[in-house]
Chains A and B, each alone.
Chain A
Amino acid sequence: MRYWSILFALAAVFSIGAFVYAPFSPDWWLPNSANEPYHAVSKFGREIDSLFLIILWITGIVFIGTQIALVWVSWKYIDKPGSVATYFHGSQRLEVIWTIIPAAILVFIALYQMGTWAEIKFRSSAPKVLPLAEVTARQFQWVIRYAGPDGKLHTTDDLHLVNDLHFVKSAEKLEKPALIWLQSGDVLHSFFLPQLRIKQDAVPGLKIPVWFDCDRAGQYELLCAELCGWGHYKMRSKVTVHENQADFDEWMQRKLSEQNQSQIAAVAQGGK
């Protein structure tokens, strides 16, 4: 049955088709903001996307090549009545070639991505800025403690919020990323900013610095990317990137005065 090979070919064509289609559909493509589906809003995001594309091209080309070879072989060397199989020990040269080429590709990818990894993850590359906030992941919310106007954590002017992350876009901060300290109050969670391509596990007992930038003011999302229990889906937070520092300060002042509220402005107005 030589026609099986056509079925295999179709499966391969379908897979390749999906990948060819993906970039043309914002829903299928990388998580970017709806009005700019092809613009990653952060510097790290663009680096990670370019790594992603390089790997996608490499694996895509290899996939197409191997699929063509497989379909061709299964078409050409189909079992025929009366044909006799030949046995041979193998080809050392061929084996060396198909070991060395993938190994070389892997080494290339490993070396090529190192700079980006170091820039995003190594503690030594953490930006020398005052921390924006301390973020505590717990079942099932993000408890965010902002450093407040004095820029220091654990002082009386700290702002305490839940599921509401705010920072200023990077152009306004001399291209410096925002820095948070991530910790967990209970189990493993993962701090995931899909649009900014940042993902970091929150590990009980560790305080982990995480930094991220964004060059477009707007609304984004913070999610938990580590299944942490029945309420995992509830760990969803708003992320607001402010146009400039003044905006951010104005927001923080407003939130601080809410936090310092000591009387009801108008009792009479009551409920809704």
Chain B
Amino acid sequence: MISRFRWALIAGTVSLAGCGEMFDPGPLEYVDSPSLQTELKDKPTMQAAVRKALGNLFGPEPREIHVPVGSGLPMGGARLASHRHFDDGAKPQAFHVAVGSSTSTPGTIPIRGGFALYREHCLHCHGVSGAGDGPTAPFLYPRPRDYRKGIFKFTSTNTGQKPTRSDLEKTIRYGLHGTSMPAFDAMLTEREFQQVIDYVIFLSLRGETELALIGEAGIADEKDPNALSDEVSGEILRAVANKWKSADSQVMNPPIPKPESTPESIQRGKELFLGLNKTGNKVDCTSCHGPQALGNGPSFISQDVFNYVVFGGDPSTRGERLDAEAERIARKRFEMANHGSAHEPTADELKPLLAQIKKQWEDSLDDWKEPLRPANLNRGVYKGGRRPIDIYWRVAKGINGAKMPAHVPTLEPEKVWDVVNFVLALPYEPKLLEGATLPAAPPTSAPKVAQPKYDLSNTTLLADSPPPADPKAGNTK
């Protein structure tokens, strides 16, 4: 098996070398969490201890999978890979799922296993460790999910909770519309979906356990040999696994079904969206989504700066583009504030302006430090799904890891449904938000960023306007 693979590799290398371009998918090994270096900078022993504990729990490399006891994976993780062998009592707390070799296996089970499927379909974006760092990842916006934080955006469970297996299945089966996550519905069998889900949860467990181990090692004494003993690391793993186990009990079910989408309900939703409701709590949608719901509210860095920085060139030089752009905007603001005073701003004068712009950029990043965009609600593209229940979840409990906050209990369920009716109606009634403005005194809103002169709005994947209506079809119903 291995030798056949090696031959294919050699043949591939030779044929690709002929093309003058070599595609290197990178080594098949786990990458360390960046916080291993940052958090445990002066603790080499602890760094080694974290690696060792993690290797014991989950296996030292992707081709040797250990399924720790208490992982909560169905069938004890048997679906992770096709070749299994059990520990012969030496280490009763774990069994191994060995992959990539057919030797020393008491029997193979006729499945490909989550690892093989993941490697074929997912790895090139999500990476070997599930870090969202596969070879195709830098070309994508939004970036592929890094599972290692254990945060998943589109869930049916309460704010901050883990997704259920069915949530993950829905994402894999139908994709995330508006992102690069494709639908695998027609590619995999029922059984294979479960295998891939197991493997994704395995990687997420591993990543989150790694972070927790680093946290534990951070407070431990560098010289303490038992800081990350088997008991301690097992305890840490079980704490992470328990969050996954409780997901099913955390599903949020709207207490009332969606009421009819009447003009009154849509109108109430619109008032809530614009913060114009006379009664009840107010929510602040426009500061992010903008008064026309174009996703251009003042709390976020402006669309063209975003486009320039994110799409304006090589992803690895984003920081340089941001610096250049911030400098340019700061100078412009200085000029505007000083009414064309002839003198050039000094570094000290620019500093606070630059800091302000950088702060706004920082505020526009998600938990993975990736730039975010509020949804343009006019497009009718909903990443987390278009069912009313999906949009209810997004509004009611927010989006994990992103800037969308939870709105329950601030809003009562019937009000959330009004907002849902409004959001679902908007792509079909483009005049709904015509002339709407930001609330008179936007709470703590940053000054609007000056607009650069170039227009890069066509660099987004799909046009920002709703799709052109079929000439034969009426636009509203």
- Which A residues have a C-beta under 8 Å from some C-beta of B? 131, 134, 138-141, 143, 147, 150, 152-157, 160, 162-164, 181, 185-186, 207, 230-231, 234, 236-238, 258-264, 267, 270-272
* Smallest CB separation, B169 vs chain A (Å): 9
Tell me, yes or no, whether B187 is within 8 Å of chain A by CB: yes
Q: Which of B43-61 contact A (CB under 8 A)?
A: none
Does A162 contact B177, Cβ atoms closer than 8 Å? Answer: yes
Q: Roughly how many angstroms separate A271 CA and B169 CA in the complex, as a whole number?
A: 11
Tell me, yes or no, whether B327 is within 8 Å of chain A by CB: no
Q: In terms of DSSP, what is the predominant structure of the interface of chain B?
A: loop
- Contact status of A141 and B183, CB under 8 A, knowing A264-B156, A271-B164: yes
Chain B minimum-CB-distance residue to A183: B467
Q: Roughly how many angstroms separate A155 CA and B248 CA in the complex, as a whole number?
A: 35
Tell me, yes or no, whether B469 is within 8 Å of chain A by CB: yes
Does B387 contact A234, Cβ atoms closer than 8 Å? Answer: no
Contacts of B468 in A (CB 8 A): 207
Does B387 contact A262, Cβ atoms closer than 8 Å? Answer: yes
* Smallest CB separation, A51 vs chain B (Å): 30
Contacts of A160 in B (CB 8 A): 386
Tell me, yes or no, whether B473 is within 8 Å of chain A by CB: yes
Contacts of A163 in B (CB 8 A): 183, 185-186
Q: Roughly how many angstroms separate A230 CA and B412 CA in the complex, as a whole number?
A: 46
Q: Roughly how many angstroms separate A108 CA and B194 CA in the complex, as a whole number?
A: 56
Q: Roughly how many angstroms separate A203 CA and B462 CA in the complex, as a whole number?
A: 14
Tell me, yes or no, whether B315 is within 8 Å of chain A by CB: no
What are 13 A-B contacts defined by CB distance under 8 Å? A141-B182, A143-B177, A150-B477, A152-B477, A153-B469, A154-B428, A154-B470, A154-B475, A185-B461, A207-B468, A238-B186, A260-B258, A263-B253
Contacts of A152 in B (CB 8 A): 470, 472-474, 477
Q: Roughly how many angstroms separate A230 CA and B123 CA in the complex, as a whole number?
A: 12
Q: Roughly how many angstroms separate A118 CA and B230 CA in the complex, as a whole number?
A: 73
Does B182 contact A264, Cβ atoms closer than 8 Å? Answer: no
Tell which of A155, A164, A185, A270 touches B477, judged by Cβ atoms closer than 8 Å. Answer: A155
- Contact status of A236 and B165, CB under 8 A, knowing A154-B469, A154-B475, A264-B253: no
Q: Roughly how many angstroms separate A111 CA and B474 CA in the complex, as a whole number?
A: 41
Counting chain B CB atoms within 10 Å of each CB, the highest count among A138, A154, A157 belongs to A154
Count A-B pairs with CB separation below 8 Å. Answer: 110
Q: Bits for B436-477, please: 1 = Cβ < 8 Å to A, else 0.
A: 000000000000000000000000011000111110111111
Known contacts A150-B477, A207-B468; 9 additional CB pairs below 8 A are A141-B182, A147-B473, A155-B475, A156-B261, A156-B425, A162-B174, A162-B175, A186-B461, A234-B184
Chain B minimum-CB-distance residue to A150: B477
Tell which of A156, A157, A181 touches B470, judged by Cβ atoms closer than 8 Å. Answer: A181
Q: How large is the interface on B (under 10, 10 to 19, 20 to 34, 35 or more residues)?
A: 35 or more
Q: Roughly how many angstroms separate A238 CA and B166 CA in the complex, as a whole number?
A: 21
Does B136 contact A271, Cβ atoms closer than 8 Å? Answer: no
Tell me, yes or no, whether B100 is within 8 Å of chain A by CB: no
Q: Roughly how many angstroms separate A267 CA and B252 CA in the complex, as a whole number?
A: 8
Tell which of B257, B258, B386, B417 touches A259, judged by Cβ atoms closer than 8 Å. Answer: B386
- Contact status of A262 and B258, CB under 8 A, knowing A156-B477, A230-B136, A267-B251: yes
Chain B minimum-CB-distance residue to A142: B183
Q: Which of B114-149 contact A (CB under 8 A)?
A: 121, 124, 136
Q: Roughly how many angstroms separate A181 CA and B389 CA in the complex, as a whole number?
A: 29
Q: In terms of DSSP, what is the predominant structure of the interface of chain A?
A: loop
- Which B residues have a C-beta under 8 Å from some C-beta of A? 121, 124, 136, 156, 164-166, 174-175, 177, 180, 182-187, 194, 247-249, 251, 253-254, 257-258, 261, 386-389, 392, 417, 424-425, 428, 461-462, 466-470, 472-477
Does A234 contact B253, Cβ atoms closer than 8 Å? Answer: no
- Contact status of A162 and B183, CB under 8 A, knowing A152-B474, A155-B477, A271-B164: yes
Contacts of A270 in B (CB 8 A): 164, 248-249, 251
* Smallest CB separation, A97 vs chain B (Å): 43
Contacts of A231 in B (CB 8 A): 182
* Smallest CB separation, A8 vs chain B (Å): 29
- Contact status of A238 and B185, CB under 8 A, knowing A262-B258, A262-B387, A262-B392: yes
Does A131 contact B177, Cβ atoms closer than 8 Å? Answer: no
- Contact status of A271 and B248, CB under 8 A, knowing A162-B174, A262-B389, A263-B257: yes
Contacts of A261 in B (CB 8 A): 387-389
Chain B minimum-CB-distance residue to A221: B186
Counting chain A CB atoms within 10 Å of each CB, the highest count among B186, B194, B247 belongs to B186
Contacts of A258 in B (CB 8 A): 387
Does B165 contact A272, Cβ atoms closer than 8 Å? Answer: yes
Q: Roughly how many angstroms separate A163 CA and B184 CA in the complex, as a whole number?
A: 8
Does A262 contact B182, Cβ atoms closer than 8 Å? Answer: no
Q: Roughly how many angstroms separate A106 CA and B423 CA in the complex, as a whole number?
A: 58
Does B467 contact A154, Cβ atoms closer than 8 Å? Answer: yes
Contacts of B473 in A (CB 8 A): 147, 152-155
Q: Roughly how many angstroms separate A134 CA and B473 CA in the complex, as a whole number?
A: 12
Q: Roughly how many angstroms separate A272 CA and B185 CA in the complex, as a whole number?
A: 18
Does B388 contact A260, Cβ atoms closer than 8 Å? Answer: yes
Does A262 contact B388, Cβ atoms closer than 8 Å? Answer: yes
Does A134 contact B187, Cβ atoms closer than 8 Å? Answer: no
Tell which of A156, A157, A237, A262 touches B186, judged by Cβ atoms closer than 8 Å. Answer: A237
* Smallest CB separation, A69 vs chain B (Å): 37
Contacts of B476 in A (CB 8 A): 155-156
Chain B minimum-CB-distance residue to A162: B183
Contacts of B469 in A (CB 8 A): 153-154
Q: Roughly how many angstroms separate A38 CA and B405 CA in the complex, as a whole number?
A: 59
* Smallest CB separation, B259 vs chain A (Å): 9
- Contact status of A234 and B428, CB under 8 A, knowing A264-B389, A270-B251, A272-B165: no
Q: Roughly how many angstroms separate A155 CA and B461 CA in the complex, as a whole number?
A: 23
Tell which of B183, B387, B428 touches A156, judged by Cβ atoms closer than 8 Å. Answer: B428
Does B187 contact A236, Cβ atoms closer than 8 Å? Answer: yes
Q: Roughly how many angstroms separate A162 CA and B180 CA in the complex, as a whole number?
A: 13
Contacts of A134 in B (CB 8 A): 467, 470
Q: Roughly how many angstroms separate A112 CA and B472 CA in the complex, as a whole number?
A: 35
Tell which of B187, B251, B261, B462 touches A234, judged by Cβ atoms closer than 8 Å. Answer: B187
* Smallest CB separation, A263 vs chain B (Å): 5
Chain B minimum-CB-distance residue to A164: B185
- Contact status of A164 and B186, CB under 8 A, knowing A157-B477, A230-B136: yes
Q: Roughly how many angstroms separate A213 CA and B352 CA in the complex, as a whole number?
A: 66
